Structure 1
Amino acid sequence: MALTSEISPYNPQWPLLFTAENRRIAEGFGAELIGTHHIGSTAVPGLSAKPEIDILVVVSEHINEVARSEFMRTLGYVRGTDLSVGHHFYRRDVDGVRTHKIHVCVAGHGQIARMLRFRDLLREDSTIRKQYQDLKLRLEANNRGGIAEYLAHKAPYIDALMNMHLGD
């Protein structure tokens, strides 16, 4: 079973794709928008990744969710299941291939610091970056259960890494 897209070598266009998409989505968050961040593997120079641009949107609160979801739908996004209280998720596929994921979190949500810290660790430490890349490629090569299996097998590595680097 395939992942949402195939892992490919780092593409220097990914930050530009983030910037372009960030401009498209920003108006949908209005006054509640605090900030946006390029996260995930496409935000890490030199790291192979599924070419899916991950964007973290930090908001003051979740207001007018119906209007926001409708706006996002006009841009080709589908609202997924909330990942936790205060952590909304949108995805966009083009021709059956995932291209973008949007995480919308209320300021102060624990996942904000976690996602940014993980990204920064990968950017700062070439050994961690290489270990993570090797893990992802191995999981992709052995994957039989799709994206859920892939994510479940990555989680212990990420959790252990984050536990080691809390407070750095």
Structure 2
Amino acid sequence: MALTSKIATYSSNWPVMFAAERDKIAFIFGNQLIAIHHVGSTAVPELAAKPEIDLLVEVSTHASDTDVNALMCACGYVRGTDLSEGHHFYRKDVNGIRTHKVHVCETGHKDIARMLAFRNILRQDAKIRALYQALKFKLELENTVGIKEYLALKEPFIEAILNKDK
């Protein structure tokens, strides 16, 4: 089974795509909006990635799900299953290909620090970045089940990197 998109070499257009989408959806979160961060592999220069722009929306509190869901839908997003308690997830596909993912978490949620920390490590450490890229290509090549398998098999590497100095 295919992943949601194929891994591609880094594109300098990804930060531009992030900024455009950030500007497009920021109004949805109103006064609750604290920040919108570019996370995931497309936020790391020189790292190959599935060309799916990950936006991490940090809010002071979750607003009405009904209102946010309707506005996100109007911007082309579908609400996915929450990734953890308080970690809301939206996805956007264009012509059957995933293009954007939006993670919405309240300030202080553990996933905010985790996503930002892993992104920053990859940005700063070329050796870890190269190891992670090799793993991603290997997992894409060997994948038989789809995105859930791919994500689950990346998780031990991510955890090891995040817990390295603990």
The interval holding the TM-score normalised by the smaller chain is over 0.9
Whether 2:14 is the aligned partner of 1:11: answer no
- Normalised by the length of structure 2, the TM-score is 0.99
**CA deviations over 1:51-88 (Å, ceiling 9, x no partner):** 00000000001121111100000010000001111110
- Normalised by the length of structure 1, the TM-score is 0.97
- Equivalent residue number for residue 163 of structure 2: 163
Report the CA distance shift for 1:165/1:93 in structure 2 as closer, same or farther (over 3 A).
Answer: farther
- Equivalent residue number for residue 33 of structure 2: 33
- Equivalent residue number for residue 42 of structure 1: 42
- Equivalent residue number for residue 151 of structure 1: 151
Counterpart CA distance in 2 for 1:61 and 1:156 is 31
**CA deviations over 1:30-52 (Å, ceiling 9, x no partner):** 00000010000000000000000
Counterpart CA distance in 1 for 2:83 and 2:10 is 27
- Secondary structure of the corresponding residue to residue 164 of structure 1: coil
**How many residues of Structure 1 are paired with residues of Structure 2 in the alignment?**
166
- Equivalent residue number for residue 114 of structure 1: 114
- Equivalent residue number for residue 99 of structure 1: 99
Amino acid aligned to 2:42: T
- Secondary structure of the corresponding residue to residue 163 of structure 2: helix
Counterpart CA distance in 2 for 1:27 and 1:65 is 15
Counterpart CA distance in 2 for 1:60 and 1:82 is 18
Report percent identity of matched pairs: 58
Moved over 3 A (4+): none
- Equivalent residue number for residue 123 of structure 2: 123
Counterpart CA distance in 2 for 1:132 and 1:165 is 18
- Equivalent residue number for residue 66 of structure 1: 66
Counterpart CA distance in 1 for 2:41 and 2:162 is 16
Counterpart CA distance in 1 for 2:160 and 2:7 is 23
Task: Give how far 1:165 is off.
Answer: 3.9
What's the C-alpha RMSD, in Å, of the aligned pairs?
A: 0.7
Stretches of structure 2 that go unaligned for 5 or more consecutive residues are none
Deviates more, 1:3-12 or 1:62-71: 62-71
Counterpart CA distance in 1 for 2:43 and 2:53 is 8
**CA deviations over 1:84-131 (Å, ceiling 9, x no partner):** 111100000000000000000011000100000000000000000000
Amino acid aligned to 1:100: H
